[in-house]
Structure formats: structure tokens, C-alpha cells
Amino acid sequence: MARKKVSIIGAGHVGAHSALWIGLKEIADVVLVDIVEGMPAGKALDIMEASPVAGFDACIAGTNDYADIAGSDLVVITAGLARKPGMSRSDLIDKNSAILKGVVAEVVRYAPDSIIIVVTNPLDVMVHTAWKLSGFPPERVIGMAGALDSSRLRAFIAMELGVSVEDVQAMVIGGHADEMVPLGRYSTVAGIPLPQLLSAERIDALMERTKKAGGEIVALLKTGSAYYAPSAAVAEMAEAILKDKKRVIPCAVYCKDRYGLDGVFVGVPAKLGSSGVEEIIEIELDSRERADFDRSVAAIRELVAGLGL
């Protein structure tokens, strides 16, 4: 069986590390694209030269020519600027939506049947932009955020309790911003609900840390934002789609007549398979969770309204 093909637009920190994870896990062949001359080819070659030592078979190529993305099953868009200290995700909006315009036009031109995963921030606004500009059906345009935010919460729970990450599940819904909604009630350790293992205060502290986890790393790095965990989350979604695994992963998907919404991209649990978003799973929210979710949706709507799309 021929290998699947993933193109990653933007060969920066998240893009290049996504290529590495996807290669390491033998999920697909990868084409890295960037506007910086030579750079994607250099990074791709470097990963290829690691493959004998790491022991994986995947073709990783780099290019400045969009024609090379032709035939992609999946396109991951990371092109854009990352946050600098003191910058909010929405400060990025104007610059990154201009970049996305150009990128999406090339994706439509060369990979019209692909599924798009958007990574560029502000995530919920950029995934909406990509959907509008592409004209793709909404099940083929997905934003990566919940996979990352949930992974962060899982890491914090495992660290707090001193247990294996393998036994920890967690769920973060809502927008990819400080208003995201981590759900303690839907977080478990080996099936045991978190509230049976930790006090309400400690759970709240872990939720707060999760909401600010991106900023915590920006403040430490000083020159950019997180990329190891974001790229691992991209690979997780890519694998779910390309291997048709039907994984249930929170991601930013188009909610129309779901969660009482009338057409907005927001993070909720979704089943991912070879057609992209195969099902949106509606979970019960209590009044506090619902209020937090509504606040998060309102923040996304406001930013999307400003786009004039």
C-alpha cells in the first residue's frame, strides 16, 4: 500500500517537529513548505539523515514550491507568526490572516481533495478563515488546539499525582485562548474521576495552569512559543485521520446545530477518521461549564466578526 502524504505549510518550530513525529511514527511521507529559501529542504534532509539511527521509513522532503504538495491527503498549516512575550493570540490576527489567504489559495489549487488541519494562531479564527477561503466542506477543515490543551492537562494531573500519563485522560473544550474550558469532571485516572482523587482547590489550580500553559512557555522561552507538545498533538490528529482510527479528540470543528450553536468553529470532542470530522460528540455540561463554554464561544465570535469574511 502506498504511503499517505502530508504537506506541512510553514517549516518553523511546530512544522518541522510535526514532520519529525510523523516520520518517527511512520504515519506518512511529508512535504515541508516554507517561504524561506532552502530552509525546508535543509530541515527535511536533516530528518532523513536521522531516520537510519531512529529506524523509520518515511520520505521527508522540503520545498519552496507549492506544486510539490499535489496529491496530499492531509495539509497542516502552521505558517504565520508565533506569539512573543506580552502578545495575545489575537494580536496576531491581521498578520496571520493575510498569510493564510495566500496559503489556502495554494492548497485549493494543488490539493483540492485534502483535509486541512490549521495550527496557526489565533486558532479558532484562523480555522474559520481557512474554511471560508477554501470552500471545503466543514468536515475537512479542523483546528488543532484541544489535543494540545488536553495533553497539557494530562501532564499536569500525572505530575500532581505521581502516576503514569498512560492512565490519565482529560478533556479541554472551548476556544484556544485563556477562556478555554478544562473539564475536571471528564478527567480520569484509570477510569477514576478526578474529583475522587484530588481536592476541588487542587483541581482548580491544575485547570488554571492549563489555561495559561501556552503563556507559561512563552514567558520561559522568551523568543517564541511551544512546539514539542503542539507538534506531538498534530501527529496524533494526523494519525487518527490517515489510519482511519476513529479517535475521539477535542479539536476546533464547525458546530452547527451542535451544542446549540449556529455555525462557529470551537473546540469540542470529535471523532476523527479518513473523512476528517466524522462525528461531533455532545457531552453534558453543568451550568458552570456551560457558562464558561458560552463565554469562550462569545470571544471567538467577536474576533471572527472583525474579520469581515
Name which of 297, 42, 52 is nearest 176 in CA terms.
Answer: 297
Residue nearest to ligand TXD as judged by C-beta position = 12
Q: Which spans of this chain sit near ligand TXD (rule: CB under 6 A)?
A: 9-15, 33-36, 78-83, 92, 96, 99, 102-103, 119-121, 123, 144-145, 148, 176, 224-227, 230
Closer CB to ligand TXD, residue 82 or residue 277? 82
CA distance 63 to 60: 10
The owner of cell 511551544 is 226
Pairing of strands 261-273, 276-280: antiparallel
Which residue in the list 13, 17, 128, 176 is annotated as catalytic? 176
Q: How far is the CB of 213 from ligand TXD (least distance, A)?
A: 10
The SS3 call for residue 309 is coil
- Alpha-carbon distance values, 53 to 72, 158, 217 (Å): 27, 31, 30
* DSSP H helices in 76-227: 93-110, 123-134, 146-161, 200-211, 213-221
* 128 a catalytic residue: no
Closer CB to ligand TXD, residue 121 or residue 129? 121
Report how far apart the first and last C-alpha atoms of the chain are (Å, whole number): 41
Closer CB to ligand TXD, residue 95 or residue 295? 95
Indicate the DSSP class of residue 174: B
CA distance 47 to 59: 9
Q: How far is the CB of 102 from ligand TXD (least distance, A)?
A: 5
Closer CB to ligand TXD, residue 94 or residue 244? 94
Sign of the C-alpha dihedral computed for residues 190, 194, 195 and 197 taken in this order: positive
Closer CB to ligand TXD, residue 29 or residue 34? 34
Catalytic residues: 176
